[in-house]
């Protein structure tokens, strides 16, 4: 029943996108300044049917309707309601439906919210959006149908992968998808702007709010993903340079570059073609990301299910998309002869773009190189954190410095600011105090600390100065401050994290440098969807003489049968205590990993600050209009 | 200019110096757990990881250096086990391409501001 409705609704949504493309094409030839009612109506109809098809799947999950394969494979009656709902997008088909729905919502919002007067520009953007929508609906219906029926109807479902049964991972995909799919708008708008010869400022003001919004959600999505990885995977880290994590980071670099260069475009200084290239690249990168994750050509924790035919479809789509974009670009791109003065604000934005594209290139090379090497030579290599740290870390120093200095320069005018000022000396002084306390003798980390302090101090000072002049650019102040703090706390965290790995039996205790870890007893626990062994640990701090109780678990989920290792994390203001245990097969010995991780909360908070700047950027736009 | 150049060299060299970190933990963090999905030996709870941990521990006791341990393991399991890909023939591009691209980007920016530079002087 539900299955049929789902297919019908999404088919109607697919048909409406064809109708929209047809009417829009007709409309291009009519020199009327208004977009006709029927285009609005069909868009609304498309939105409604698309949302209905999502609602159908949601109902299927909430009421555990196992007549749909997708629900049967990914849900279970005993699952809490919250995870029944989040299970809707916890699998390939459902997440694709969510992706397509967000695409439809964004297109509709673009149509009704954009105040751009150029009709053909809007219509063309809508056409490109609908080509994307149609492609994704076709992909959904032919290859990855979430509504496929199953007969005979099973009594019980197979359950959701337990590591996905988590509040952070319930919101992670929607956040990231809003970021990903948001970039489709400026992809379409960029192509449309080329064809309809939209003027620089007009293009910039149209895409700027979409860039801010997608950047904001992308940043949040990455944050939630790392928080999840930190406490749910139980590996003791928050960023692993895993190919799938990289896929979310790569578009982020491009969005950040775009967020900055749009400012140059807005002031008619230049970068018209470059903004268009960036817009096209950003969406291309999100599709490449989807391809990498869904095709399963990457070895990663996150590739839960994969299938080569999906990869083939996305790859074909990607090739078509890239070729047509390149064709449109070279056919219509205007030639640009602008001068950029050294030490002007736009010069620093160019440098920002240089770094962002470089970071993207490093991550892209690191992610894809092993795949190519394996295919071409048949040699398997791994590219992990040591590679990225080695290449990227030194570049953080000039980046931090440019983030400090760049925003203080004026547009168009070339003016070399004095570097040796009070702020720098204040920062060096602060740095020396910190350096004296931490006694870190790694030169690189020392420099990174120094320049992150400089960025933070200078940004706070800029805020004070701007506040006096009553012209505060809150979004840049907050984002840059957040970035400075992030790098500072990551470095401090890197220096002070301690880790102890040892084997222990119940009743024994382990004496480390600062702590005594007592393994008091084992208890068992059981709830509806899993049974677990709980280790009761007492951590005694030798210096402060306080004790903490930690209870890591080994869970045995019944649906589907999976073992997960739950870290026990005691989060204090300044430091996290982190403990995981695993049993060594056929013995009564447990392997324990005990970690102290300082400033974890500060790291999360810094990323929140960064993303918040993006949100402010979005709202400050509205005020100006 | 010379000073800056010298400073840059120090910065890039210093990435190599990871002082004071527990060598054992550091080695385990740079090894892939071959039976897991994308986990390091240090992170993994698998039996394979337990064995490798023992092996690394033994080798350190035997007095092998970090490099010798990597070499021993990669001879046994292939380069797949090393998260830090070795700098050798097939990987030259992996290690050098980022720097080449960075220089390439720098040249483009130089060309973009070149006209402005002449105008100023």
Q: What is the mean pLDDT of residues A405-415?
A: 85
**DSSP H helical ranges for A160-199:** 167-195
Upper half-sphere CA count for residue A255 (Cβ side, 13 Å): 29
- List b or e across A418-455, with b for residues whose CB sees 16 or more CB atoms inside 10 angstroms: eeeeebbeebeebbeebbeeeebebebbbbbbbbbbbb
Spatial separation of the C-alpha atoms in residues A126 and A24, rounded to whole Å = 8
> Is A368 an 8 Å CB contact of chain B?
no
Residue among A99, A92, A73 at smallest CA distance from A294:
A92
Residue in B45, B117, B120 closest to A565 by CB: B45
Q: What is the pLDDT of residues A329-370, one digit of tens each?
A: 989 988 877 788 888 898 999 999 999 999 999 999 999 999
Spatial separation of the C-alpha atoms in residues B121 and B117, rounded to whole Å = 6
How much is the pLDDT for B12?
A: 53
Chain B partners of A340 at a C-beta cutoff of 8 Å? 112-113, 115-116
Chain A partners of B101 at a C-beta cutoff of 8 Å? 358, 361
How much is the pLDDT for A208?
A: 94
> CB burial class (10 A; 0-12, 13-18, 19+) of residue A608?
middle
Tell me the Cα Rg of chain A.
Answer: 26
Q: What is the mean pLDDT of residues A168-183?
A: 92
pLDDT at residue B121 tops 50: no
Residue listed under structure tokens 């005979």: A152
Range of A99-103, A437-441, A593-597 with top mean pLDDT: A99-103
CB contact under 8 A, B53 and A501: yes
How much is the pLDDT for A135?
A: 95
Residue in B45, B82, B120 closest to A382 by CB: B82
> Is A527 an 8 Å CB contact of chain B?
no
- The CATH superfamily of B21-86 is Cytochrome C biogenesis protein (1.10.8.640)
Q: What is the mean pLDDT of residues A475-496?
A: 94
Judged by average pLDDT, the poorest of A227-241, A301-315, A590-604 is A301-315
Upper half-sphere CA count for residue A45 (Cβ side, 13 Å): 16
> Is A357 an 8 Å CB contact of chain B?
yes
CB contact under 8 A, A382 and B106: no
For residue A562, how many other CB atoms are within 10 A of its CB?
A: 14
Tokens of A440: 């870190």
CB contact under 8 A, A235 and B83: no
Residue in A236, A340, A447 closest to B112 by CB: A340
Query: Computed from CA positions of residues A230, A369, B85, A400, in that sequence, does the dihedral angle turn out positive or negative?
Result: negative
- Domain spans, chain B: 21-86, 90-121
Q: What is the pLDDT of residues A22-43, one digit of tens each?
A: 999 999 988 777 888 999 999 9
CB contact under 8 A, B83 and A386: yes
For residue A329, how many other CB atoms are within 10 A of its CB?
A: 16
Spatial separation of the C-alpha atoms in residues A135 and A212, rounded to whole Å = 26
Shortest Cα–Cα distance, A437 to chain B (Å): 16
Reported as type and span, the H/E element at residue A623 is helix A600-624
What percent of chain A shows pLDDT beyond 90?
57
For residue A25, how many other CB atoms are within 10 A of its CB?
A: 12
Shortest Cα–Cα distance, A480 to chain B (Å): 23
Q: Which residues pair with A503 in a beta bridge?
A: A591
pLDDT at residue B115 tops 80: no
Per-residue pLDDT band for B4 (boundaries 50, 70, 90) equals low
**Cα angle A145, A150, A152; round to 5:** 175
Residue listed under structure tokens 């220096």: A495
How much is the pLDDT for B18?
A: 40
Chain B partners of A235 at a C-beta cutoff of 8 Å? 39-40, 43
Range of A297-301, A363-367, A414-418 with top mean pLDDT: A363-367
The string of DSSP codes covering A245-270 is: HHHHHHHHHHHHHHHHHHHHHHTTSS
Q: What is the pLDDT of residues A52-93, one digit of tens each?
A: 999 999 999 999 999 999 999 888 888 889 989 999 998 889
How much is the pLDDT for A97?
A: 95
Residue in A358, A366, A381 closest to B79 by CB: A381
Chain B partners of A389 at a C-beta cutoff of 8 Å? 15
Chain B partners of A242 at a C-beta cutoff of 8 Å? 38
pLDDT at residue A580 tops 50: yes
Per-residue pLDDT band for A242 (boundaries 50, 70, 90) equals confident
Spatial separation of the C-alpha atoms in residues A147 and A222, rounded to whole Å = 29
Spatial separation of the C-alpha atoms in residues A351 and A373, rounded to whole Å = 32
Spatial separation of the C-alpha atoms in residues A144 and A134, rounded to whole Å = 14
**DSSP H helical ranges for A267-339:** 272-295, 308-332
The string of DSSP codes covering A502-529 is: EEE-TT-EEE-SSEEEEEEEEEEEE-SS
Map residue A81 onto helix, strand or coil.
Answer: helix
Residue in B16, B25, B37 closest to A499 by CB: B25
Per-residue pLDDT band for B6 (boundaries 50, 70, 90) equals low
Judged by average pLDDT, the poorest of A64-73, A535-544, B30-39 is B30-39
What percent of chain A shows pLDDT beyond 70?
97
CB contact under 8 A, A441 and B19: yes
Spatial separation of the C-alpha atoms in residues A431 and A372, rounded to whole Å = 44
8-state DSSP, A232: I
CB contact under 8 A, A301 and B37: yes
Map residue A612 onto helix, strand or coil.
Answer: helix
For residue A109, how many other CB atoms are within 10 A of its CB?
A: 16
Residue among A533, A532, A528 at smallest CA distance from A559:
A528
Per-residue pLDDT band for A559 (boundaries 50, 70, 90) equals confident
Residue in B22, B38, B40 closest to A300 by CB: B38
Residue in B29, B45, B81 closest to A591 by CB: B45
pLDDT at residue A301 tops 70: no
pLDDT at residue B44 tops 50: yes
CB contact under 8 A, B15 and A444: yes
Please say whether the beta carbons of A226 and A238 come within 8 A: yes
> Is A340 an 8 Å CB contact of chain B?
yes
Residue listed under structure tokens 């013995």: A587
The 3-class secondary structure across B47-86, one letter per residue, is: HHHHHHHHHHHHHHHHCCCHHHHHHHHHHHHCHHHECCCC
> Is A299 an 8 Å CB contact of chain B?
yes
> Is A622 an 8 Å CB contact of chain B?
no
CB contact under 8 A, A361 and B98: yes
Q: What is the mean pLDDT of residues A278-307?
A: 75
CB contact under 8 A, B20 and A441: yes
Per-residue pLDDT band for B8 (boundaries 50, 70, 90) equals low
Per-residue pLDDT band for B57 (boundaries 50, 70, 90) equals confident
Q: What is the pLDDT of residues A429-468, one digit of tens each?
A: 999 988 888 877 788 999 999 999 999 999 999 999 888 8
């Amino acid at each position: 029943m539900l299955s049929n409705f789902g297919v019908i609704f999404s088919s109607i949504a697919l048909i409406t996108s064809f109708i929209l493309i047809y009417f829009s094409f007709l409309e291009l030839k009519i020199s009327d300044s208004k977009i006709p009612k029927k285009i609005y109506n069909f868009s609304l109809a498309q939105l409604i049917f698309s949302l209905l098809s999502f609602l159908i799947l949601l109902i299927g999950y909430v009421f555990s309707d196992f007549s749909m394969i997708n629900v049967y494979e990914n849900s279970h009656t005993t699952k809490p309601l919250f995870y029944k709902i989040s299970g809707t997008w916890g699998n390939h088909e459902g997440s694709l439906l969510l992706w397509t729905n967000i695409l439809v919502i964004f297109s509709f919002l673009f149509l009704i919210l954009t105040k751009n007067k150029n009709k053909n520009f809007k219509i063309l953007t809508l056409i490109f959006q609908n080509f994307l929508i149609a492609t994704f609906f076709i992909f959904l219906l032919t290859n990855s149908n979430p509504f496929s029926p199953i007969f005979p109807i099973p009594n019980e479902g197979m359950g959701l992968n337990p590591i996905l049964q988590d509040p952070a991972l319930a919101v992670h995909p929607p956040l990231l998808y809003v970021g990903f799919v948001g970039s489709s708008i400026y992809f379409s708008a960029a192509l449309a702007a080329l064809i309809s010869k939209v003027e620089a400022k007009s293009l910039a003001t149209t895409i700027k709010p979409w860039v801010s919004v997608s950047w904001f959600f992308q940043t949040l999505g990455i944050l939630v993903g790392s928080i999840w990885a930190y406490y749910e995977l139980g590996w003791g880290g928050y960023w692993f340079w895993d190919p799938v994590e990289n896929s979310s980071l790569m578009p982020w670099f491009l969005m950040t570059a775009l967020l900055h260069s749009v400012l140059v475009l807005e002031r008619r200084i230049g970068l018209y073609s470059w903004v268009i290239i960036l817009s096209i690249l950003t969406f291309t990168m999100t599709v490449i990301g989807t391809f990498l994750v869904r095709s399963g050509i990457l070895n990663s924790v996150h590739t839960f299910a994969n299938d080569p035919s999906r990869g083939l479809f996305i790859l074909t789509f990607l090739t078509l998309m890239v070729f047509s974009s390149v064709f449109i670009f070279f056919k219509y791109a205007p030639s640009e002869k602008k001068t950029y003065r050294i030490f002007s604000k736009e010069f620093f934005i160019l440098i920002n773009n240089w770094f962002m594209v470089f970071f993207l290139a490093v991550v892209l090379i690191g992610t894809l190189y092993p795949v190519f090497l394996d295919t071409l030579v048949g040699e398997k290599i791994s590219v992990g954190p040591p590679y990225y740290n080695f290449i990227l870390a030194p570049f953080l120093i000039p980046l931090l410095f440019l983030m400090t200095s760049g925003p203080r320069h004026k547009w168009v005018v070339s003016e070399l600011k004095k570097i040796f000022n009070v702020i720098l000396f204040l920062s060096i002084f602060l740095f020396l105090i910190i350096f004296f306390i931490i006694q870190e003798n790694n030169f690189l980390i020392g420099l990174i600390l120094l320049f992150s302090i400089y960025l933070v101090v200078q940004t706070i000072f800029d805020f004070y100065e701007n506040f006096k002049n009553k012209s505060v650019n809150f979004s840049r102040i907050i984002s840059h401050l957040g970035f400075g703090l992030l790098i500072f706390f990551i470095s401090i965290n890197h220096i002070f994290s301690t880790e102890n790995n040892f084997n222990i039996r119940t009743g024994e205790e382990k004496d480390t440098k600062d702590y005594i870890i007592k393994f008091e007893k084992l208890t068992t626990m059981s709830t509806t969807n899993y049974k677990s062994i709980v280790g009761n640990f007492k951590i005694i701090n030798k210096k402060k003489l306080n004790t903490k109780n930690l209870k890591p678990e080994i869970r045995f989920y019944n649906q589907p049968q999976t073992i997960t290792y739950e870290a026990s994390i005691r989060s204090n203001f300044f430091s996290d205590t982190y403990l995981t245990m695993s049993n060594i097969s056929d013995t009564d010995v447990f392997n324990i990993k005990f970690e102290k991780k300082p400033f974890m909360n500060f790291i999360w908070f810094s990323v929140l600050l960064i993303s918040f700047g993006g949100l402010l950027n979005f709202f400050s736009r509205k005020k100006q209009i | 200019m010379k000073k800056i150049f010298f400073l840059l060299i120090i910065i890039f060299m210093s990435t190599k110096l990871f002082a004071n970190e527990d060598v054992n933990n550091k080695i385990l963090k740079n090894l892939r757990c071959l039976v897991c999905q994308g986990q390091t030996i240090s992170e993994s709870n698998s039996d394979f990881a337990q064995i490798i941990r023992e092996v690394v521990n033994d080798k350190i006791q035997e007095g092998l250096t970090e490099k010798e341990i990597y070499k021993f393991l990669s001879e046994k399991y292939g380069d797949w086990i090393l998260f830090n890909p070795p700098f050798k023939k097939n990987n030259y591009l992996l290690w050098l391409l980022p720097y080449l691209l960075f220089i390439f980007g720098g040249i483009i920016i130089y060309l973009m501001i070149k006209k402005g530079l002449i105008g100023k002087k």
